[in-house]
Amino acid sequence: MSRLLQALFGRLPIGWLQLSHNRTRFAAALAGVAFANVLVFVQLGIMNSMGAATLRPYDFFQADVMISAGDANALADGGNVARQWLLQAMADPDVADGTGLFIANVPWDRGEKDISLTTFGVDPAKPGFLSAEIAGDIGLLQVQDAAILDRLARGLGKEEAAAIRPQSPLAFETQGRTVTAYATFAGGGGFGGDGYMLVSDQTFLSLFPARASAAPDHILLTLRPGARPEAVIARLKTLISDPSLRIRTYTAAAEDDLRYQQTKRPTGIIFGFGVLIGVLVGLVIVYQVLSTDVADHLREYATFKAMGYGPRFFLGIVFEEALVLGIMGFVPGLIVGTAILTLMGAITTLPLAMTPSMAVSVFLGTVVFSAVSGAIATRRLAAADPADLF
Amino acid sequence: MDSDTIVEARGLNHWFGSGEARKQALFDVNLTLKRGSFTVLMGPSGSGKTTVLTLIGCLRAVQDGSVRLLDHELNGAAEAELVALRRRLGFIFQAHNLHESLTAAQNVMMGVQVHGGVPDGLAQQAAIHALGLVGLSDRTTYLPANLSGGQKQRVAVARALVASPALVLADEPTAALDKDSAAEVVDLLKRMGEARGTTTLLVTHDNRILDRADRILTLEDGRIVKIEERG
């Protein structure tokens, strides 16, 4: 390590030698930086998982344009949309097909614990609006009270889920009816429910008698090949006379949902603050270590000053220390952070995992906050007056 | 200032503090140090010895009077010029001030690397050679914590002399040493000074050192009251 740093800096790696001289303090400093990294990783992991969980249900469907109520900030939020606008939209020559999408949560009494399934009511005659995995089983939903169940739903055993097939369906009570799951798909627990379920729109209306077939939660449209979604949306906005409706591309709707979850929902803001606090903790820890180190070596620094070493030399030492702390503290932080996220993911079924982009961004952030701490700590160097040595 | 003169101070006055608390520490000090000379500066505590040393060593700004060091006027000199001049000096302090996490050789290397552009191998070679001259060739990889007081001070001497400075400024270098170590360190300074033409200005209370001096200056209450030529 010494030789590597010596080759890198072109001088004795005094920062490294200083840090590694007191091994107990060095280990404590690395543990501090690693702790800050773990904090950031966990908060970022939760934030990312919220993003992944938000976007996941959008993957169950395929559409080009989505029409939602004005207050529908998220897929499962907001009011209904009148089906008449679907018919109106179909009048556009570039709209190939359209369907209504119903969404609501149903409870499932699992004995020890109730779980909540976000349930989508879809038209089983329109598999083109569903992902390939789900579309293959959509015919099963023609049967009244049939369902396709999320095999990754929180609280549903792996073996129990694996056993669900048309020849060995799983029946359960919900909303006063017996629903029978004939097939499964890969979903996973989110922040708004423990998993997902797909039923036909007719089954959905049976489960929720208060809902009307004329008022789905969203309208999904597919466009003819070659059609420009922006141009179609512009025409639809003139065609549909309710100006309060949100008419967006399906992708834009997903992005809006994600932005809403991250910036408007308390959970997103809390996790965002968590990341900020992690960074601040790291900043304080590195600053404390460096500034104590500078204070402990003031006489040596003053000696170097007397010998003719200039400010750049001292800045170099402190930055070297900051980099060593940042880089070496990152490695255990990454390992522990990955372990915690994996464990949390297994327990919650949330899509919690260490991603390369997270690792890279936290690493860069660690180097930056270490350098900032180092820059602040160098202010103490001014106290090293060589005249005081005599 | 002739070419043989390393330091020439004329009419040097210095004050500490400001306002009513302002106190004059030096009064019209005049002194000259010739190349290769070994000068001892004596005097009671508070007489201004250290102030003279720090002014000549470019560690304080000259307020009044003139100090010419290696043909550079220090009164009004820019900080960068003072830093550059300090690189041509060797400092030995009462405390060895070695860096605790650097080995003896690495501490001495710092005296070479301050000049920049010196390859590591060469700096290390010079450091090991200097440590050999002070009798520590078998201690080059030792950390200061594993050296005796006398050995540490010898490392400090090697650090001060490794780059062949024009002037060595030493402040009570033997204060913390036993009789034998003190004699060894002073002899070493004297011997290496003679061999390399280095000028030495040494502040001390230690009478054991006086018989090694070419010249003894006595400072009292900020004034040079006695100059004794011994050479």
Q: What is the mean pLDDT of residues A167-173?
A: 93
Residues B80 and B118 in one domain: no
The answer as to whether A212 is a domain residue is: yes
Residues A45 and A88 in one domain: no
**Using CA atoms, how far apart are residues B98 and B105, in angstroms rounded to an integer?**
11
Interface residue B171 vs chain A (CB under 8 A): yes
Contacts 24+ apart (CB under 8 A), B204-210: B204/B40, B204/B41, B204/B42, B204/B172, B204/B173, B204/B174, B204/B175, B205/B42, B205/B172, B205/B175, B206/B172, B206/B174, B206/B175, B206/B182, B208/B174, B208/B179, B208/B182, B208/B183, B209/B40, B209/B174, B209/B182, B210/B40, B210/B42
Residues B64 and B2 in one domain: yes
CATH number of the domain at B71, please: 3.40.50.300
Residues A274 and A376 in one domain: yes
Interface size A-B, in CB pairs within 8 Å, comes to 68
Residues A211 and A329 in one domain: no
Interface residue B102 vs chain A (CB under 8 A): yes
For residue A141, the 8-state DSSP code is G
Residues B185 and B159 in one domain: no
Listing from the earlier edge strand, what are the strands of the sheet with B23-34?
B23-34, B5-16, B64-69, B72-73
Q: How far is A386 from chain B (nearest CA, A)?
A: 6
The answer as to whether A194 is a domain residue is: yes
Quote the ipTM score: 0.87
Number of domains in chain A: 2
The answer as to whether A289 is a domain residue is: yes
Residues B114 and B149 in one domain: yes
Which pLDDT does position A143 carry in this prediction? 93
Residues A321 and A202 in one domain: no
Residues B1 and B75 in one domain: yes
Which pLDDT does position B12 carry in this prediction? 95
Nearest to A390 among B50, B101, B106 (CB): B50
The answer as to whether A252 is a domain residue is: no
A302 contacts on B by Cβ (under 8 Å): 97
Interface residue A21 vs chain B (CB under 8 A): yes
Residues B24 and B80 in one domain: yes
Residues A237 and A94 in one domain: yes
Asked if the Cβ–Cβ distance from A310 to B59 is below 8 Å, we say: no
Which pLDDT does position B180 carry in this prediction? 78
Q: Closest residue of A to B98, CA-based?
A: A300
| Model pLDDT for residues A95-145, shown as the tens digit of each residue | 999 999 999 999 998 877 789 999 999 999 999 999 999 999 999 999 999
For residue A278, give its domain range: 2-54+266-389
Mean pLDDT by 10 residues, chain B (231 residues): 85 91 93 91 91 93 94 93 93 87 94 84 91 90 93 91 91 79 81 83 84 90 91 62
Nearest to A308 among B53, B86, B120 (CB): B86
Interface residue B113 vs chain A (CB under 8 A): yes
Residues B216 and B102 in one domain: no
**Using CA atoms, how far apart are residues A5 and A33, in angstroms rounded to an integer?**
20
Interface residue A9 vs chain B (CB under 8 A): no
Q: Which of B164, B185, B206 is the last residue of a domain?
A: B164
| Model pLDDT for residues A340-366, shown as the tens digit of each residue | 999 998 888 788 888 899 899 888 888
Contact assessment for residue A94 and residue A230, using Cβ atoms and an 8 Å cutoff: no
Q: How confident is the model at residue A202 (pLDDT cuts 50, 70, 90)?
A: very high
For residue A222, how many C-alpha atoms fall within 13 Å in the half-sphere facing its CB? Answer: 13
Q: Which of B135, B164, B193 is the last residue of a domain?
A: B164
**Using CA atoms, how far apart are residues A371 and A287, in angstroms rounded to an integer?**
9
Asked if the Cβ–Cβ distance from A6 to B120 is below 8 Å, we say: yes
The answer as to whether A177 is a domain residue is: yes
Q: What is the DSSP string of B182-229?
A: HHHHHHHHHHHHHHHT-EEEEE---GGGGGG-SEEEEEETTEEEEEEE
Interface residue A310 vs chain B (CB under 8 A): yes
Asked if the Cβ–Cβ distance from B101 to A387 is below 8 Å, we say: no
**Using CA atoms, how far apart are residues A204 and A144, in angstroms rounded to an integer?**
10
Residues A102 and A239 in one domain: yes
Q: How confident is the model at residue A375 (pLDDT cuts 50, 70, 90)?
A: confident
The answer as to whether A67 is a domain residue is: no
Which two structure tokens, joined as six digits, stand for A232?
């179609």
Q: Which of B29, B13, B23, B24 is nearest to B219 (CA)?
A: B29
Residues A171 and A299 in one domain: no
Asked if the Cβ–Cβ distance from A387 to B60 is below 8 Å, we say: yes
**Using CA atoms, how far apart are residues A341 and A353, in angstroms rounded to an integer?**
5
Q: Closest residue of A to B159, CA-based?
A: A307
Number of domains in chain B: 2
| Model pLDDT for residues A213-230, shown as the tens digit of each residue | 999 999 999 999 999 999
E-assigned strands of A259-305? Answer: none
Which pLDDT does position B54 carry in this prediction? 92
Which two structure tokens, joined as six digits, stand for A44?
């970022």
**Using CA atoms, how far apart are residues B1 and A52, in angstroms rounded to an integer?**
80
Residues B64 and B8 in one domain: yes
Residues B24 and B68 in one domain: yes
Residues A41 and A87 in one domain: no
Asked if the Cβ–Cβ distance from B87 to A304 is below 8 Å, we say: no
The answer as to whether A175 is a domain residue is: yes
Q: How confident is the model at residue A334 (pLDDT cuts 50, 70, 90)?
A: very high
Residues B71 and B182 in one domain: yes
For residue B154, give its domain range: 94-164
Q: How far is A8 from chain B (nearest CA, A)?
A: 12
Does the pLDDT value for residue A35 go beyond 80? yes
Residues B143 and B84 in one domain: no
Which pLDDT does position B1 carry in this prediction? 61
Residues A186 and A107 in one domain: yes
Residues A9 and A146 in one domain: no
Residues B179 and B130 in one domain: no
The answer as to whether A75 is a domain residue is: no
B203 contacts on A by Cβ (under 8 Å): 390
When the pLDDT of each residue in chain A is averaged and rounded to a whole number, the result is 89
Contact assessment for residue B59 and residue A306, using Cβ atoms and an 8 Å cutoff: yes
Asked if the Cβ–Cβ distance from B54 to A390 is below 8 Å, we say: yes
Asked if the Cβ–Cβ distance from A14 to B109 is below 8 Å, we say: no
